[in-house]
Structure 1
Amino acid sequence: MQKQQSNVSKEFVCSLHIGSATEGLRIKMLPYICTENGTIDWEAILNEDFSDADLVGVRWAYTLCHETAAIQDPFALNDKMTLPIAKAIISSLVIYWEILPLNTP
């Protein structure tokens, strides 16, 4: 059987993964992430009110998605990072840097 190729970008997958890390991120980010067409409404996400811990995740997701820290330095609130967000960011970096393949069986 041939493996089906995904048409979503690694940047999208990283943002989706980080957006799923905590209940706060799931509630405030996932409604603006469309898996059907692979789009993210960053303007709407950035207008949400996040805790400092969740804001770390948002900044990292945005940075990985846009390949730039345009909204603010993603390292600025790292002292507020929780373990679930840290794990999501690290695994997203693994995906982003293609250390492991995105399409695994």
Structure 2
Amino acid sequence: MISPKDYFRVKNDVITFDVRTKTEYEMLPHFDWAINIEFTEFISNYLEYIKKYNPENKLIVTVCNAGNRSGQAADFLREHGIDALTLEGGIYNYNRKIK
């Protein structure tokens, strides 16, 4: 897990995947710099997305609204040997703490 304050400091140096649905991404607060790929699609094709969006092998941070799905996505990536964290408390918590 990465705290909102730590994420704020490194957000330009990591790859951020928002694993919410396209509708959630469009309707709820989101990070303009995040790559939106719905959770099940991301899990099903994670290697394709890692190759496409992270050729430099940067740290991956997964985000969602409250941290549940993104936590599962980060756990999945770590289980497959990929360096990944989830944003503590999700975008909701980030906006409460940082903005």
TM-score of the superposition, structure 1-length normalised?
A: 0.28
Q: Which has the greater radius of gyration?
A: 1
Per residue, is there more strand in 1 or in 2?
Answer: 2
